[in-house]
Amino acid sequence: MDDYLRRLGLRDGGHPSVEGLFRLHAAHVERVPYENLEIWLGRPTTIDPADSWRRIMRGRGGYCCHLNGAFSLLLGRLGYRVTRHFAGVQGTPDAPAGATGNHLALTVRGLPSQDNPDGVWFVDTGLGDGIHEPLPLVAGAYEQGPFRYRLRPSESEPGGWRFDHDPRGSFTGMDFRPGPSEMAAFQATHEHLSTSPDSGFVRVLAVQRRDAAGVDLLTGLVLKRVGSVPPASSPGPVSEDSTTLERQEDYFAALADVFGLTLDDVPPPERAGLWERLAAAHERWLAERPATA
């Protein structure tokens, strides 16, 4: 556990508290990126939280089942009352709402505060450009950096909750069920997301890293920053700057410098193969884009 905390830049986990939960959450999303590189490297992963923990120790990240799975394990060992929930992310406004199993959400209980007397918190390190710090599980609108979120009772999951993302976000929203869920409930969807030609993870390599001022996103070969440049205790005007990484060395430098992904375990031939697949996917994307006037 000490190694995990050092990976987050923390000296210790402390006792369960609201302040401690906020500190752990912010450190996790800032230092452990949302990414699906293993799929593009042809390296199958499991969603066993212990396996995800070990992969994070090797300097990598993952997507929701990996990140929230490992984070829930860490929180539990630190004494937090954490619950895993069956959830579903809607990538577009026309996607059906509801908990489809393509997302693992978390809540933490037993930490009341002045603004959250019930002491239940929505916690999620696996939403990419989602929340930077926990949100009270109380209906309302919340602002973090350049994004404005909304929490409300779910209309599709009785007793559950709905998280509405900012319109600038990479997805529309997410629903999660009220009761606890076992990791086995996500296995079939994980296999689909990892292997199916219809999976967005198989079609597009995505890396995202959240901070207090905004988010860095690498989608295919396009590197984008939404928000002001960190650090920013008082974030400035929202901006969206993007650039296409057209050289292999620039791509891997961005992975290391922006996202902390040095890929020390990926030998040069595998890196070259990954770059070739990325370049080919980028050319297909350019060819399929609608013509602009």
Token pair in block for residue 246: 């057209």
| Per-residue CA distances from 28 to 8, 56, 69, 124, 266 (Å) | 6, 10, 12, 10, 23
C-alpha closest to that of 139 among 116, 158, 123: 116
- Is the pLDDT at 167 greater than 70? The verdict is yes
Could you give the dihedral angle defined by the CA atoms of residues 165, 170, 173 and 178, in that order, rounded to the nearest 10 degrees?
-100
Q: Taking each helix axis from N to C terminus, what angle separates 248-259 and 268-288, rounded to the nearest 10 degrees?
A: 100
| Per-residue CA distances from 178 to 36, 106, 157, 162, 200 (Å) | 28, 10, 8, 11, 27
- Is the pLDDT at 95 greater than 70? The verdict is yes
For the chain, percent of residues with pLDDT exceeding 70? 96
Q: Report whether 52 contacts 75 (CB < 8 A).
A: no
d(CA 33, CA 15): 25
| pLDDT, tens digit, 9 for 90 and up, residues 38-48 | 999 999 999 99
pTM: 0.93
- Is the pLDDT at 232 greater than 60? The verdict is no
Residue 233 binned pLDDT confidence (cut-offs 50, 70, 90): very low
- Is the pLDDT at 289 greater than 70? The verdict is yes
Locate the domains of the chain by residue range.
197-288
Residue keyed to tokens 């599980």:
137
For position 254, what pLDDT does the model report? 98
Residue 238 binned pLDDT confidence (cut-offs 50, 70, 90): low
| pLDDT, tens digit, 9 for 90 and up, residues 180-191 | 999 999 999 999
Is residue 222 classed as helix, strand or coil in its secondary structure? strand
- Is the pLDDT at 262 greater than 50? The verdict is yes
For position 293, what pLDDT does the model report? 42
For position 228, what pLDDT does the model report? 84
Residue keyed to tokens 């929180």:
75
Token pair in block for residue 259: 């996202």
Q: Report whether 220 contacts 205 (CB < 8 A).
A: yes
Question: Could you say which architecture CATH assigns to the domain 197-288?
Answer: 2-Layer Sandwich (3.30)
Q: Report whether 67 contacts 125 (CB < 8 A).
A: yes
